[in-house]
Amino acid sequence: MRVSAVLMRGGTSKCWVFDTRDLDAVGGDRDRLLLRLYGSPDPRQVDGVGGATSTTSKAVLLAPSATPDADVDYTFAQVGIAEERVDWSNNCGNCSAVVGLYALQQGWVRPAGETTRVVVRNTNTGKTILQDVPTPGGAPTNEGDLVIEGVPFPSPGVDLGFTRPAGAVTGALLPTGRPLDRLDTSEGQVRASLVDAANPTALLWGPDLGLAGDETPAQVDGDPRLLEVLGEARAHASVLMGIAPSAADADRVSRAIPKLAWTAPSAAGDQGIQGRMLSMGRTHPALAVTVSVAFAAASVTGGTVVPSPADGGPLRIATPSGTVTVRAELDHAGGLETAYVTRNARRLATAELELPGAGPRLCSPRAHSAPR
Amino acid sequence: MRVSAVLMRGGTSKCWVFDTRDLDAVGGDRDRLLLRLYGSPDPRQVDGVGGATSTTSKAVLLAPSATPDADVDYTFAQVGIAEERVDWSNNCGNCSAVVGLYALQQGWVRPAGETTRVVVRNTNTGKTILQDVPTPGGAPTNEGDLVIEGVPFPSPGVDLGFTRPAGAVTGALLPTGRPLDRLDTSEGQVRASLVDAANPTALLWGPDLGLAGDETPAQVDGDPRLLEVLGEARAHASVLMGIAPSAADADRVSRAIPKLAWTAPSAAGDQGIQGRMLSMGRTHPALAVTVSVAFAAASVTGGTVVPSPADGGPLRIATPSGTVTVRAELDHAGGLETAYVTRNARRLATAELELPGAGPRLCSPRAHSAPR
């Protein structure tokens, strides 16, 4: 049996994009279907199309929207690698960037001028993402000249507007009601802002744990004790945010949320901040788009670990892959209306994936005997 | 522009398979074409179809054979990841396992009974590989029940026979004329058998460097000093085997050959041996097929670091992913006629890859401006 899928890059992630209706046509359990296509569970995903890293084992399910307010319904899945599990609990900001381009390339949305706005409804969070996609000469293009940090080749840019991103999962921007909490770890307490914008995120004040926010991924991932302490902070945050009933349950409930990030003042003296984050227990090579939205939300909320940009301009966040810039647009009450991030996206391949049958056909004995 | 390609797994490797004629039709420089399709140079290959590891950044080029003695002409390419370079100097044994199945699935070879023999000519080495592929009911199948070490899912088995594998690159089984050499390193000399079978391989006697041959990949890759010493041994071997003019040139001439492996007696007391190897400077998760053939060749050659199996039976090699079994068939003069290894293979996806144009089309300014 074969399943149609398109391999796309959105920002610094690679994801396989499925027409939701194609997966429905296969039937059966959707988690099992994705796990087998990706070759999971297997740390190398060698017998499937997964890329064996958290940023390359992602699935995007798309269909023309069932609601009149949106063009496309978009569901994100983080497909387990060594773990036999699919996590549907959150959105992926980088993967979001492929949705408008795909919808235009598939003919689901009609181009309107040089740039076409595609309204995307993310079903994981119930939130809307506005996407402005280049359609030069009135047609979508797979070629562009926008370069972003972490991707060495240019491609078409996409402006993403995360509208009213607060409370995506927990219902409130500050699920604890406080801009600042203290999380328990075996190395003492760490101050943190627990923010639910785009995705629930625990933003730690790094210096409380001796972190300057300029750590390299190798430094962090090579320090099992630090990863343990960060995991403790995440587990405690999960409980305070109402996601897990107890710290011991946090990983079981979701390894993906809350996101865990830490910050500190920028060493460059440019009024920016440092930003580092974990993704599925390892340091992210850059910063997830949804976490940069959480940073933006915190920056316009008094009393958090993230300062407001001095001039009311964009927030500059230094990541392992360079500087990410986010802009927050406020509503009349001073709350966060929309957070804008620029990404790029490209279709890499159009494919038919092979799905092995329920029971393998028997080979002839000769073919799988010991070497003759 | 689009290029047809098939993603296949052969043993513990994943490779994209191209019809050589399709690449010729694209024209231009073949190295540049593959590098761009794979997203190289980039340590993450995020804008292409490469898998960002040495075992998932491989290309297989196939065409019906130009010679009457073979069915298929097979060329292997190791596509650089962070490095802007394609290495055509050697064959990949794991990728070899996809050739017969692909040729049958494409209709290039007509099935003959329950198992079909496909004769493959590897153009990198000029050597012939016999492949016995299951064709139950007279048709190729993508479903099978053979499980090999390092791959958690079953698939069709393929028996690979590397015929007269000696001298594939250097022209002689023992390019130095000796079964045992001593290689200089900054930690002293290490005994080694420099064997050219399937691929040129330096088989070190591990205990000379304090290696028991049961090292985990993490132990070796986390020890920069050890990697340096192993690199010195490889460079010296490259000179002795006539591949590089000087040790300083070894990496420039080829990072892929000679292969570097080390062995020691099995701790299990089962008369087997330990086998570990580097691939592109990192520990291989198992053992390359071509290196297991080199082990087999050494085992039937007196005076090497590899003992003959006591009972004249198969050679059992313990690798990080389990035991690999190789069988050597001798000719009348006692030389190596054919080395047999069993692998499995599966088609994972049939695709059209997007090749970005020479000059990207300009996006509308709005689409790649800073966030609004």
**Are residues A371 and B326, on separate chains, in Cβ contact within 8 Å?**
yes
Higher pLDDT, A186 or B281: A186
C-alpha–C-alpha distance, residues B228 and B186, integer Å? 9
Position B366 pLDDT exceeds 50: no
Residues 73-112 of B with CB under 8 A from A: none
C-alpha–C-alpha distance, residues B17 and B23, integer Å? 11
Q: Which residue of A has its CA nearest to B2?
A: A349
Residues B143 and B102 in one domain: yes
Residues B155 and B217 in one domain: no
Residues 283-302 of A with CB under 8 A from B: 285
Mean pLDDT of chain B: 92
pLDDT in tens, B20-29: 999 999 999 9
| pLDDT band, residue B101 (cuts 50/70/90) | very high
Domain assignment of residue A175, yes or no = no
Domain assignment of residue A340, yes or no = no
End-to-end CA distance of chain B: 33
**CB distance from B49 to chain A under 8 Å?**
yes
Residues B92 and B186 in one domain: no
Check residue A336 and give its pLDDT.
Answer: 87
C-alpha–C-alpha distance, residues B31 and B23, integer Å? 11
Look up the CATH number of the domain holding residue B134: 3.10.310.10
Check residue B358 and give its pLDDT.
Answer: 47
Q: What is the mean pLDDT of residues B7-36?
A: 97
Position B364 pLDDT exceeds 80: no
Contact B240, B202 (CB under 8 A): no
Chain A residues close to B361, C-beta within 8 Å: 136, 141, 143-145
Q: What is the mean pLDDT of residues A60-69?
A: 97
Chain A residues close to B325, C-beta within 8 Å: 370-371
Pairing of strands B13-19, A58-64: unpaired
Residues A148 and A245 in one domain: no
Residues B59 and B144 in one domain: yes
Residues B88 and B153 in one domain: yes
Domain assignment of residue A359, yes or no = no
Q: What is the mean pLDDT of residues B317-325?
A: 88
pLDDT in tens, B244-265: 999 999 999 998 899 999 999 9
Chain A residues close to B342, C-beta within 8 Å: 368-371
Please give the backbone phi and psi of residue A117, each rounded to the nearest 5 degrees, phi first: -85, 130
**CB distance from B145 to chain A under 8 Å?**
yes
Residues B188 and B140 in one domain: no
Check residue B269 and give its pLDDT.
Answer: 67
pLDDT in tens, A294-318: 999 999 999 999 998 877 788 999 9
Which of B341, B349, B354 is facing A371, going by the closest CB pair?
B341
Check residue B285 and give its pLDDT.
Answer: 83
Q: Which residue of A has its CA nearest to B368?
A: A157
Domain assignment of residue A171, yes or no = no
pLDDT in tens, A196-248: 998 999 999 999 999 999 999 999 999 999 999 999 999 999 999 999 999 99
Q: Which domain holds residue B87?
A: 2-165+345-354
| pLDDT band, residue B149 (cuts 50/70/90) | confident
pLDDT in tens, A242-279: 999 999 999 999 988 999 999 999 877 677 899 999 98
Task: Report the percent of chain B where pLDDT is more than 90.
Answer: 79
Check residue A299 and give its pLDDT.
Answer: 93
Check residue A169 and give its pLDDT.
Answer: 86
Contact B124, B89 (CB under 8 A): yes
Q: What is the mean pLDDT of residues A15-31?
A: 97
**Residue B206's closest CA among B284, B303, B275?**
B275
Which of B115, B159, B344 is facing A371, going by the closest CB pair?
B159
Residues A26 and A73 in one domain: yes
Residues A129 and A187 in one domain: no
Chain B residues close to A370, C-beta within 8 Å: 314, 325, 327, 342
Check residue B359 and give its pLDDT.
Answer: 39
Domain assignment of residue B176, yes or no = no
Residues B157 and B253 in one domain: no
Element (DSSP H or E) covering residue B162: strand B157-163
Question: What's the maximum distance between 2 C-alpha atoms anywhere in chain B?
Answer: 79
Residues A72 and A198 in one domain: no
Check residue B279 and give its pLDDT.
Answer: 87
| pLDDT band, residue B371 (cuts 50/70/90) | very low
**Are residues B342 and A371, on separate chains, in Cβ contact within 8 Å?**
yes
pLDDT in tens, B108-121: 999 999 999 999 99
Domain assignment of residue A362, yes or no = no
C-alpha–C-alpha distance, residues B243 and B310, integer Å? 33
Q: What is the mean pLDDT of residues A285-289?
A: 87
**CB distance from B143 to chain A under 8 Å?**
yes
**Are residues A354 and B367, on separate chains, in Cβ contact within 8 Å?**
no
As for how many domains chain A has, the answer is: 2
**CB distance from B144 to chain A under 8 Å?**
yes
| pLDDT band, residue B106 (cuts 50/70/90) | very high
Domain assignment of residue B175, yes or no = no
B102 beta partners: none
Position A355 pLDDT exceeds 50: yes
Which of B53, B146, B367 is facing A134, going by the closest CB pair?
B367
Residues B7 and B154 in one domain: yes
Domain assignment of residue B132, yes or no = yes
**Are residues B356 and A48, on separate chains, in Cβ contact within 8 Å?**
no
C-alpha–C-alpha distance, residues A146 and A148, integer Å? 7
pLDDT in tens, A163-195: 999 998 899 999 999 999 999 999 999 999 999
